Structure 1
Amino acid sequence: MNAEQLRQIFINFFVEYKHVEISGRSVIPENDPTVLFTTAGMHPLVPYLRGEIHPAGKRLVNIQKCIRTGDIESVGDAYHLTFFEMMGNWSLGDYFKQEMIAMSYEFLTSPQYLGIDPALIHVTVFAGDKDVPRDEESARYWMQAGIPEERIYFLGREDNWWGPAGQTGPCGPDSEMFLDTKSVACSENCRPGCSCGKYVEIWNDVFMQYDKQIDNSYLPLVQKNIDTGMGLERTLYLLTGKKNVYETELFTPILRRLEEISGKQYTGNDADVQTRAFRVIADHIKAATMIMADDKGVRPSNVGQGYILRRLIRRAIRYAKKIDIEKPFLVDLADIVLEMYRDRYPEMMSRKNFVHQELQAEEEQFMRTLQQGEREFIKMLPGLLKNPQREMSGRLAFKLYDTYGFPIELTEELAKEHELTVNRSEFEQAFEKHQNTSKAGSDKIFKGGLADDSITSTRYHTATHLLNEALRRILGDGVQQAGSNITPERLRFDFNWPEKMTAEQIAAVELLVNQQIQQELPISWSIMSLEEAKDAGAQAVFEGRYDEKVKVYQIGDFSLEVCGGPHVENTKDLGTFQIVKEQSSSRGVRRIKAILS
């Protein structure tokens, strides 16, 4: 079985059970992101998990491109990846635990589908705590499906609970399926959830039945939902008898080219430093290419998504030096990634020139930064080694960043090589004073979004529609949304525009939005095909992301836009709109921050 066959067999199984395939092509959250990147298939579906009507119905399935950076330090082992494809299905208030567990068992074990030996399957379910009871129901359904009681394990919240994506919202217990790899157990207590590698998770069924409140209490969700996730890369290596994801067709072309470029051999030995370098480079260039080839086209920068992208590119360059690559190489590898995915995601090829330009510019800039930053670190080293605590102060680490552009993560890696630590908290204090976003700070800044659908967030989300249309009317039809983020305190809206807005333009946009609020315009929605929406003049902010049926929101006669919601019912609920800042986000992209009062 190859990757495309696995994708199709998953989709086809759920289509047979009356699921509708929806799009999962973008790694950039379409609207009001709860995270910097799409980290799971459910993130674009949060409004529908809360009860909004999905235009495709109550049973959905897709292959979602995902980016996760929380485990970036683990990349290089058998299965942790920054970019991966998540195969998933959803029930939005339709079937629940019994039906999902039966389908899971069938898909895993039936010779018509994955054909896994049932004797190798172990499952975990939620053990319960003071807030939510033990999930005896799921355990009973697994036994009915065919899993004996001795292969069902009750684990705590850290293992068998999902969500919410934000501080509040949909969440619930989950049940994870593991395969016994037949390797030797690390101890007599080894079981699913152990990190030794004997048991590897292959699928996760989330039973989304609770709504977490701001006071940390749990209320029953307005509808019970199913949200599952099966990682394509991990499943492929388990099914094909490989030792890890890097032995599959999804990585071997990149590794072979790296061998040619470096003159080194990829051994596949997990304990080999050189092997780790090959894997990190392959993972990071794939993730970086996916981010830049997305229809939004994120560029490397010092904030937000651009910061994560820059970090991935720069880590790849740093690891390339470990295998003696000193010349530019990223464009070469990016082309292999684009070629590997051209049949599955053909729209990526239209971004090829953009990917080339950004990688070349970043590579040239960082090679200079790296050389200078490492020279400065070596100058500091004798003094650091004399420190009895063997700790580098955050002040010195920040100097490397602020003066030379040297990332804190690379400073920490250099320090580790010399058995030193870095005072990270001290660094972050200095960092915050300069109003930048580090990886550690991202969670604080990029909070909220659709996962927090409080009335305040809903008001801000609605206001982005008015702002989007107002910008088009004041600046011209060439304005296109390039991203947005909502918190309970403000909205942030990015749009393509080549120059700084004038004070007169900002005032005109602000006035136009407030006029629509004062007119108390009703807000309504309807479901139609994307072509019908375009014919009606609706703004489809990110072309290529939508499914056959879409939801179109209309604000009076002012705005018509494809969107998932949620929205207020009338503009009178928005209050007064005020633009508090207009600034550059990246090359060719401006950013507006605004508040409602």
Structure 2
Amino acid sequence: MNAEKLRRLFIGFFTQHDHVEISGRSVIPENDPTVLFTTAGMHPLVPYLLGEPHPSGRRLTDVQKCIRTGDIESVGDAHHLTFFEMLGNWSLGDYFKSEMIAMSYQFLTSPDYLGIDPSRLHVTVFAGDDEVPRDEESARLWQEMGIAPERIYFLGREDNWWGPAGQTGPCGPDSEMFLDTEKEPCSAECRPGCSCGKYIEIWNDVFMEYDKQEDGSYLPLKMKNIDTGMGLERTLCLLLGKKNVYDTELFQPIIQKIEEISGHRYTGEESEETTKAFRVIADHIKTATMIMSDERGIRPSNVGQGYILRRLIRRAVRFGRKLGIEVSFLPQLADVVLDIYRNSYPEMQDKRNFLHDELRLEEEQFSRTLMQGEREFLKMLPSLLKNPQKMMSGRLAFKLYDTYGFPIELTEELAREHGLGVDRTEFDAAFAKHQEASKAGADKLFKGGLADDSMASTRYHTATHLLNEALRRVLGDGVHQAGSNITPERLRFDFNWNDKLSEEQIVQVEALVNAQIEANLPIGFEVMSIEEAKNIGAQAMFEGRYDEKVKVYRMGDFSVEVCGGPHVEHTGELGKFKIVKEQSSSRGVRRIKAILVD
């Protein structure tokens, strides 16, 4: 078994069961402000889960690149990753629990597919609560497949509930499949979901049958959907009998390159600190490479996705220092990542020079940050040495972090060199308060979005098409979208352009958009091949892999674009379009923020 064989086995199984293979989407979500990155295979499919017809039909399967950074501090153990590939399949109002559980069991246990011994399989189902009943049906279906009742566990919402992607929308109970690693249980209460490592999740079947409302209540979905997810890296690790994901082909070449650069050996059995450093670097450079080489690839910055990217890069550099690496090394590792995925994602190769330039620049900037932080520490040192407790306050340590980006671990290292300690408890408290404030701001910023199926978001999504075409007509055909973010209150649209727009240009763009709104143009779509779409002059906002069939939306004779939808039916439903800000987003990219006024 290897990664490519596992990908093809999964896709082949579902295409044999009448599913259509679709292309995985960008790791940067389009028009969904509820998440910074695509964290699950379902995110690009939310409009279709809500009823929008998919051009490829009602049974779909794909491999989706995903990024989750919520557990970034856990990276370094056997299974946590910030980037992973999710194997998935969907039923959009077609089959439901009985068919899905039967297919899951067949794929997992059949010798033609994964060939797992059924006696090692354990499953969990939703235990029910005051709002949604206990999932007795799934438990019965698993028993009919041959799973003994003692290997079926009823767990609560925290373990066996999925969604919605935003504040509202499609969601439902799930059934998770675990492989018994045959380790000794940690206690008499040990069961799937326990963190001891005896049971490892291998697959998740989500039964989307509810629509969460703004008041927190759950209504039955108009159509019941299936959404599944199998993590490629973790499954490959289990099938190969490896102790951790870093021992597979998807990481070993990166680790070997780190060995070459650092002069350290990695066996997975050396000191915990060294093992973690290798794994963090390998994980973070892969994720950073995936973000920057994506079709909507972005640069490191201080906000949003760019901030997460910068954090990953700088953590990799910092852990590189723990291995004694003082020179630029990330571009070399990025080359290894590109080689690993050369056949699976060939489009990444086009971003090699961009990757080299951005990683090298970020390493240089971080080196300057570290030098500045060290200077500030040395300024504080005389006063610190007078402290009879020989202790640096957490408040000062946090100032170095918050003001200069200086990592707490380096502050502690410098303090130790001068016989000082750092009040880590006080630092952690200040950091936690900072995180809460950041999360509160993010929750306010990212509320709503297309994932909540709101008409306001749909109107703004429609307006981005008019804005995109208006910019091309004012600035030239070379202009194209470089990202967007939509809430029910406003749209944010990024496009490639080096110079600040003049007042005259902004007025022209606004006037063009509003002229189309006043014309009340009809909006509709046709399903066709991407070649046919290009032949009729349709704009494809991002170069990338497309499915065999795509939707092409027309807004009168003004705009023709490849897009999944949804949109309003006539442009007159949008109201008056107003640009409220035009600014730089990153090098070579400008950003427009606009609102619709009734």
- TM-score, normalised with respect to structure 1: 0.94
Contact 1:453 1:566 in 2 (8 A): no
* AA at the equivalent of 1:42: M
Partner of 1:277: 277
State the shift of 1:448 in Å. Answer: 2.6
SS in structure 2 of the partner of residue 474 of structure 1: helix
Partner of 1:596: 596
Partner of 1:421: 425
SS in structure 2 of the partner of residue 520 of structure 1: coil
State the shift of 1:373 in Å. Answer: 1.8
Over 3 Å counting, the alpha-carbon distance change for 1:217 and 1:223 in structure 2 is same
Over 3 Å counting, the alpha-carbon distance change for 1:440 and 1:399 in structure 2 is farther
Partner of 2:21: 21
Partner of 1:217: 217
Q: Deviations over 1:109-142 (max 9, x none)?
A: 0000000000000000011111111111111111
SS in structure 2 of the partner of residue 531 of structure 1: helix
Contact 1:162 1:173 in 2 (8 A): yes
Over 3 Å counting, the alpha-carbon distance change for 1:465 and 1:422 in structure 2 is farther
Over 3 Å counting, the alpha-carbon distance change for 1:82 and 1:400 in structure 2 is closer
Over 3 Å counting, the alpha-carbon distance change for 1:389 and 1:396 in structure 2 is closer
Partner of 1:561: 561
Partner of 1:157: 157
Q: How does 1:222-237 map to 2 (within 5 A)?
A: 222-237=222-237
SS in structure 1 of the partner of residue 540 of structure 2: coil
Q: Deviations over 1:245-299 (max 9, x none)?
A: 0000100111111111111111313861100000000000000011111122210
Partner of 2:344: 344
Q: How does 1:50-449 map to 2 (within 5 A)?
A: 50-269=50-269, 272-377=272-377, 380=380, 383=384, 392-393=394-395, 397-398=398-399, 400-402=401-403, 404-406=404-406, 418=422, 420-421=424-425, 441-449=441-449
Contact 1:398 1:408 in 2 (8 A): no
Over 3 Å counting, the alpha-carbon distance change for 1:144 and 1:234 in structure 2 is same
State the shift of 1:444 in Å. Answer: 3.6
Q: Equivalents in 1 of 2:255, 2:390: separation in Å?
A: 42
Q: Equivalents in 1 of 2:262, 2:438: separation in Å?
A: 32
Q: Equivalents in 2 of 1:430, 1:243: separation in Å?
A: 36
* AA at the equivalent of 1:397: F
* Range moving further from structure 2, 377-386 or 470-479: 377-386
Contact 1:66 1:83 in 2 (8 A): yes
Q: Equivalents in 1 of 2:546, 2:408: separation in Å?
A: 38
Q: Equivalents in 2 of 1:413, 1:83: separation in Å?
A: 30
State the shift of 1:38 in Å. Answer: 1.0
State the shift of 1:421 in Å. Answer: 3.3
Over 3 Å counting, the alpha-carbon distance change for 1:150 and 1:299 in structure 2 is same
Partner of 2:9: 9
Q: Equivalents in 2 of 1:431, 1:582: separation in Å?
A: 29
Q: Deviations over 1:388-444 (max 9, x none)?
A: 998623x86356433x34468987999999460355786698899xxxx95774444
Q: Deviations over 1:505-557 (max 9, x none)?
A: 11111111111111111111111111111111111001113211001111111
State the shift of 1:185 in Å. Answer: 0.9
Over 3 Å counting, the alpha-carbon distance change for 1:270 and 1:573 in structure 2 is farther
Partner of 1:470: 470
Contact 2:524 2:569 in 1 (8 A): yes
* AA at the equivalent of 2:468: N
Over 3 Å counting, the alpha-carbon distance change for 1:325 and 1:457 in structure 2 is same
Over 3 Å counting, the alpha-carbon distance change for 1:488 and 1:180 in structure 2 is same
Q: Equivalents in 2 of 1:178, 1:378: separation in Å?
A: 52
Percent identity, aligned pairs only, is 73
SS in structure 2 of the partner of residue 473 of structure 1: helix
Q: Equivalents in 2 of 1:185, 1:539: separation in Å?
A: 57
State the shift of 1:347 in Å. Answer: 0.6
Partner of 2:491: 491
Contact 1:42 1:227 in 2 (8 A): yes
Q: Equivalents in 1 of 2:147, 2:17: separation in Å?
A: 22
* AA at the equivalent of 2:12: N
SS in structure 2 of the partner of residue 230 of structure 1: strand
Q: Deviations over 1:10-65 (max 9, x none)?
A: 01000000111111152122344531111111110000000000000000011111
Partner of 1:479: 479
Contact 1:25 1:345 in 2 (8 A): no
Over 3 Å counting, the alpha-carbon distance change for 1:224 and 1:6 in structure 2 is same
* AA at the equivalent of 1:421: T
Over 3 Å counting, the alpha-carbon distance change for 1:538 and 1:415 in structure 2 is farther
Partner of 2:37: 37
Q: Equivalents in 2 of 1:411, 1:285: separation in Å?
A: 24
Over 3 Å counting, the alpha-carbon distance change for 1:11 and 1:411 in structure 2 is farther
For the pair 1:520 / 2:520, whether they are aligned, the reply is: yes
State the shift of 1:589 in Å. Answer: 0.5
SS in structure 2 of the partner of residue 421 of structure 1: helix
SS in structure 2 of the partner of residue 548 of structure 1: coil
Contact 1:280 1:316 in 2 (8 A): yes
Partner of 1:534: 534
* AA at the equivalent of 2:66: C
- TM-score, normalised with respect to structure 2: 0.94
Q: Equivalents in 1 of 2:301, 2:439: separation in Å?
A: 13
Over 3 Å counting, the alpha-carbon distance change for 1:146 and 1:383 in structure 2 is farther
Aligned-residue RMSD, C-alpha: 2.5
SS in structure 1 of the partner of residue 116 of structure 2: coil
* Range moving further from structure 2, 370-379 or 586-595: 370-379
Q: Equivalents in 1 of 2:58, 2:389: separation in Å?
A: 62
Q: Equivalents in 2 of 1:150, 1:289: separation in Å?
A: 44
Q: Equivalents in 2 of 1:398, 1:515: separation in Å?
A: 51
Q: Equivalents in 1 of 2:363, 2:296: separation in Å?
A: 21
Partner of 1:543: 543
Paired residues, what number?
591
Unaligned runs of 5+ in 1: none
Contact 2:33 2:487 in 1 (8 A): no
Contact 2:384 2:390 in 1 (8 A): no
Contact 1:308 1:439 in 2 (8 A): no
SS in structure 1 of the partner of residue 371 of structure 2: helix
Partner of 1:584: 584
Unaligned runs of 5+ in 2: none
Contact 2:554 2:560 in 1 (8 A): yes
Contact 2:394 2:422 in 1 (8 A): no
* AA at the equivalent of 1:392: G
Q: Equivalents in 2 of 1:475, 1:283: separation in Å?
A: 40
SS in structure 1 of the partner of residue 342 of structure 2: coil
Q: Deviations over 1:310-341 (max 9, x none)?
A: 00000000011111111111011110000111
Over 3 Å counting, the alpha-carbon distance change for 1:439 and 1:301 in structure 2 is farther
Over 3 Å counting, the alpha-carbon distance change for 1:248 and 1:441 in structure 2 is farther
